[in-house]
Amino acid sequence: MKARQKRLIFVLLGVVAVVGASFLITKAMQGNLAYLYAPEAVLAGEVPTGKVIRLGGLVKEGSLQRSDTKLEARFVVTDNRGHEVTVVTNKILPDLFKEGKSSVSRGILKEGVFYAEEVLAKHDANYMPKEVTDILKKEHTPTTKTIGETK
């Protein structure tokens, strides 16, 4: 095979790989990226319903309730500035899940209630996810404004 033909094969294979990969990536990125929202953004109606998102904040003191017959648990996520969202989950809560501590839940918002498929807690005794710290630190600038716009 001549050098030029060989180069052509390299280029073609490269193009096929790049096109294929970009196609797969764009397809995979649709719906598989979970943005993080603060309770404030949920109340402001910035969160798309029926789409998987993440909700971060503190678990409100005294808000954890358990069902007597099912695994179901309910708790309230707050940003300590009066914005609160109720979370419902049928999953085991993680070891480090505690009232008054931070948590990030992944799930879907439906009629103002957040149905979580997965609940994560901070994963070290002295560590809080940086993302949640940012939510709690934000005074009044809505973090999530930009998120809503990029969507």
Partner 1 sequence: MIPEVGHFALILALAVAIIQAIFPLLGVQLAKPQWIALAKPTAHVQFMLLAIAFTCLVYAFVSDDFSVKLAASHSNTQMPTIYKVSAVWGNHEGSLLLWAFVLSAWGMLVSIFSRSIPAVMLARVISVMGFVGIGFLLFMIMTSNPFERLAFPPAEGRTLNPLLQDPGLAIHPPMLYMGYVGFSVAFAFAIAAMLGSKLDAAWARWARPWTNVAWVFLTGGITLGSWWAYYELGWGGWWFWDPVENASLLPWLVGTALIHSLAVTEKRAAFKSWTVLLAIFAFSLSLLGTFLVRSGVLTSVHSFAADPKRGLFVLMFLGVVIGASLTLYAARAPKLQSTGRFELVSREVGLLVNNIALITITATVLLGTLYPLIIDALGMGKISVGPPYFNSITIPLATVLFTMMGVGLFLRWKNDSPERLIKILRIPAIMALVVAVVLPLLILPEFKWRAVLGLLLASWIAFTALLWFSGQGRSPFKKPLATWGATLAHLGMAVTITGITLTSMYSVENDVRLVANKAGYVVGDYEFKFINIENHTGKNYKAIRATVDVFQNGQPLTTLHPEKRDYGPGTMPMTEAGIDGGFTRDLFVALGEPLGDNAWSFRIYHKPFVRWIWLGGILMALGGLLAAFDGRYRRTRKIFLKDKAKRVAA
Q: Where on the chain is the footprint of partner 1 (CB under 8 A)?
A: 1, 6, 9-10, 13-14, 17-18, 20-21, 24-25, 27-29, 31-36, 52, 54, 66, 68-71, 90-93, 95-96, 106, 123-126, 129-131, 134, 143-144, 146-147, 150
Distance of closest approach, residue 49 Cβ to partner 1, in angstroms: 18
Partners of 118 in the beta sheet? 106
CB nearer partner 1, residue 111 or residue 149:
149
Pairing of strands 113-121, 84-89: parallel
CB nearer partner 1, residue 36 or residue 76:
36
Distance of closest approach, residue 17 Cβ to partner 1, in angstroms: 5
Distance in angstroms (rounded) separating the CA atoms of residues 36 and 46: 12
Distance in angstroms (rounded) separating the CA atoms of residues 5 and 138: 59
SS3 18: helix
